[in-house]
Chain A
Amino acid sequence: MSYLTVKDASKQFGGSVRALDGVSFAVERNEFFTLLGPSGCGKTTLLRSIAGFADLTAGSISLAGAALDAVPSHKRDIGMVFQDYAVFPHLTVAENVAFGLKARKVPATETATRVAEALNTVRLGAMAARLPAALSGGQQQRIGLARAMVIRPKLLLMDEPLSNLDAKLRIDLRDEIRDIQKSIGIAAIYVTHDQEEALAISDRICVMNAGRIEQIGTPQEIYADPRTIFVASFVGTMNILPQEAASHLGLESSRVHQWAIRPEHIQLDQGNLAPDSVRLAGRVEKYTYLGREAHVMAQTPAGKIVVQLADPAPSLRMEPGSAISLAFRRQDILSFDSKGVRLEGRGN
């Protein structure tokens, strides 16, 4: 049996609103598991159910072989990191971290060493005596992390812990979180709506939409092998083309409802093409230079298509209206049926 199992979890808020609709998954010891989805997809409700702050309407959760359903949240031994940090403003940094140890009646000397250790891990050793109000958002979230880890919980839950931080700090701290999780070897469930963050940090990602699981898989599987049109378009950017584009793509379309291809799989036609390539003529609509890459939006007979150019030459000019030729390989085209489910092969 897996370390954490969630079985048929459903949650209904008054009336017909289903926040969770029959969600099941399992998380292994030491695994970094991410719940990814747009706001309102049920990921936070799910996390709060595991923490015990919300009751499920139906379904069960078990952790380390024991059912959690009847265990009140303060006895679950689950550490939690909050979006708004939830650092206690009336306690010093060290007192914040020691807070959970006090509840466990850990002796004072042991508390002191464990707190110091935890603070060093999150690089806040020098701040122990400060009040949180004097610290930055990133530092406050580090307190939150140290506070949750120091009790050596069975499971670590993180509810969008980085969403209130600025971009650069977000990347630094997410790497730190990942390193800390691996070094102490704890199972972690991480909630985010940021797909890049999910790809960077997770062992496995669970993509959720409207209270249901769309797909569970490694970052590579989620990105390169999306099982539904929702996953394909939510994670990364995706060109979605209607069924009618089939003739331009040279593909059959009996069951296919939509075609999809990643911008980085499309190139500007420069002659030497692989044998199964599709060639499309189009006109430049917009050229966006981003330094490391550039995006060309082109109007083609198959629809609007965005092409990603890696390492674009600074001298490259793409005037709107100028004619270009796009090329991509048929094997990179994904096809989806009318329910948004991925069709194997070419869908014919």
Chain B
Amino acid sequence: MRVSFWTLVSIFAWLILIALLVVPLGSVLLSSVQDQAGSFTLANYARFIETPRFRTAFLNTLIIGFGGLAGSLLLGSAMAFCMARIEIRGSRIVSLLAILALVSPPFIGAYSWIVLFGSGGLVRQTLMSWGIFIPPIFGLWGILIVFSFKFYPYVYLLASGALANINRSLEEAAESLGLTPFQRVMKISFPLVLPALSAGGLLALIHSIADFGTPRLIGRGFNVLATEAYTLYSAEVGSNLSMATTISIVLILLSMFFVFAQRYMSRRNVYHGNLINKPVKKKLTGFPNIAAHVVVYGIALIGAMPAFIAAIYSVRRTSGPVFHPGFGLDSYRRILYNLADVVQNSLTFSFATVALIVTIGTLIGCLVARKMSVNNSLLDATLMVPYVMPGIVVGIAFVAAFNSPPLALTGTAAVIILSIFIRRLPYSVRSSASALRQVSPSMEEAAISLGYSPSRAFMKVTVPLILPGIIAGGMLSFVTAINELSSSLVLYVGSTATMPVRIYIAINDGDYGTAAALSTVLLVLSSTAIYIAFRLMGRDERALL
């Protein structure tokens, strides 16, 4: 019975992957190599290469990708080093701020930077009145600043973990062999954290390439592939799906290329240290101490700044889109009267997505973790694909696949739920598989030897042990689901708009009060979910990656 149950799960998993991944991706690929008549052509790709606009977007994508990578690496590794090796006062607050930066929707960052440093931005205006001119933040530099302060936590969380796990004896050994402190860092510590740095950097790179909201809002003419794909898709006149799908394919290939490049680079660099001699944090004094604190708090506060700005602006008095002096709850009132359905949509969609992700992700996770077979390894590998698909591509792929019968899903709530589901599924499978791998198989065997049938042993012993991990994983999925913008933006219709979509529209319309209030609601919901997750599984910031 048990065998056939897991076979069913395996078939079910493949059906899901075929319906929600293979078919949409196939439709995207098909649409990109078909002309209007439906016959095979590479004209779209030729056009992509020939058209200066697309060439520029491709180049720009690489620029913001590597720019975001460099910025995140710089900020993240500086912070990681200080936090792991130097005693920083209030380090708990610092890592909370990093988490806040990580979970706040990306476009809140863009919005807050605009509020402060845009043409009429608060800081910029103030500086101008003092006679200091700074250019408005729009354009490439704006995007890079937002990305760096938004994605640095990826590098920080991974690298600080690695730094805290270097056996101090290694560094002491290097020192006793006559290396100077600088040589020691370059020859011992750096190579040991390199895998973590490159993994964190990869996350920053992939998210920078995939991000749609930031370049759209702050780029002001600085177009990247994600924004071009959206423009082509959403143009009121002459919407060009086949060109949008061509760009989508290019985006996927680009992301995949970087994933494999990182894997190739760090293929040998797996270090399993023992932790007999844990690194200690050094207590600095005087100027170096102040400098370290300035660095850490500077990065953390600027990174979390968007969240604070959103919260502050949400309680400013407004009438319509215009801010007035003083504070009030006008924006929240407007949400309550006009946008209650949007909030409700977001909550319904997110809960539905999480329910799906938790049940199906756990089942597949058990399959992958416990039933080793070629089939399951293939399943695990296929699940990596949604991981590298930019949201905008998932959106366009779902439109391409589900626009016409037999699966005419576009415009329904289901299509939004499914699009978020497939994007988040890999995380859920991985986290439940790793939770399961931490439960020693002998635990279940002990129960069996004591007289419980295998299925009862699983229910009585394994399930209670992995449940906190699963709920925690569900909470983190909730955070992703409720903050999702790019695929929903492609897939929503009037009645299925979500909070992120509405925030995006509000910012575009200059209705900053509503955007701030909605963002604050999002942040509160996300923080609550993360609080629950951390309570359940202990504080492990790296689970957020």
Residues of A at under 8 Å CB distance from B? 51-53, 72-80, 82-84, 86, 88-90, 99-100, 103-104, 144, 147-148, 151, 157
Contacts and interface: CB of A to CB of B under 8 A. Distances in A.
A86 B443 contact: yes
B51 interface: no
| Closest 10 pairs between A and B when the two form their complex, measured CB to CB | A100-B450, A103-B451, A86-B442, A86-B446, A80-B449, A82-B442, A74-B448, A86-B443, A90-B464, A73-B448
A74 B440 contact: no
A164 to B, nearest CB: 12
A176 B451 CA distance: 25
A148 B445 CA distance: 12
A294 B100 CA distance: 65
Contacts of A86: 440, 442-443, 445-446
Nearest to B445: A53
Contact of A147 (B442, B446, B456): B446
A74 B465 contact: no
A279 B507 CA distance: 100
A147 B461 contact: no
10 contacts: A74-B451, A79-B450, A84-B442, A86-B440, A86-B442, A86-B446, A89-B465, A99-B447, A104-B451, A147-B450
Contacts of A104: 451
A258 B453 CA distance: 52
B457 interface: yes
A80 B446 contact: yes
Contacts of A144: 446
Contacts of A151: 450-451
Contacts of B456: 103
Contact of A73 (B442, B449, B464): B449
B373 to A, nearest CB: 12
B454 interface: yes
Given A51-B445, A83-B442, A88 B461 contact: yes
Contacts of B387: none
B191 to A, nearest CB: 32
B451 A77 contact: yes
A297 B241 CA distance: 84
Interface residues of B, number: 18
B59 to A, nearest CB: 51
Contacts of A103: 450-452, 456
Best-buried of A76, A99, A104, A157 by chain B (most CB within 10 Å): A99
Nearest to A81: B446
Among B452, B454, B457, B465, chain A packs the most CB atoms within 10 A around the CB of: B452
Interface in B416-458: 440, 442-443, 445-454, 456-457
Nearest to A80: B449
Given A74-B454, A86-B445, A103-B451, 19 more contacts: A51-B449, A53-B445, A73-B449, A74-B451, A74-B452, A74-B453, A76-B449, A77-B451, A83-B442, A84-B440, A86-B446, A88-B446, A89-B465, A99-B447, A103-B450, A104-B451, A148-B450, A151-B450, A151-B451
A272 B445 CA distance: 61
Contacts of B461: 88
A89 B451 CA distance: 19
A127 B464 CA distance: 22
A80 B445 contact: yes
Contact of A100 (B440, B451, B464): B451
A82 B450 contact: no
B442 to A, nearest CB: 4
A148 B448 CA distance: 11
A80 B447 CA distance: 10
Nearest to B465: A90
A148 B442 contact: no
Contacts of B454: 74
Contacts of A84: 440, 442
A147 B445 CA distance: 13
A31 B443 CA distance: 27
Nearest to B453: A74
A74 B457 contact: yes
Contacts of B465: 88-90
A148 to B, nearest CB: 7
Nearest to A96: B446
B204 to A, nearest CB: 36
Given A74-B457, A90-B464, A90-B465, A82 B445 contact: yes
Contacts of B442: 82-84, 86
A72 B453 contact: yes
Nearest to A100: B450
Interface in B454-480: 454, 456-457, 461, 464-465
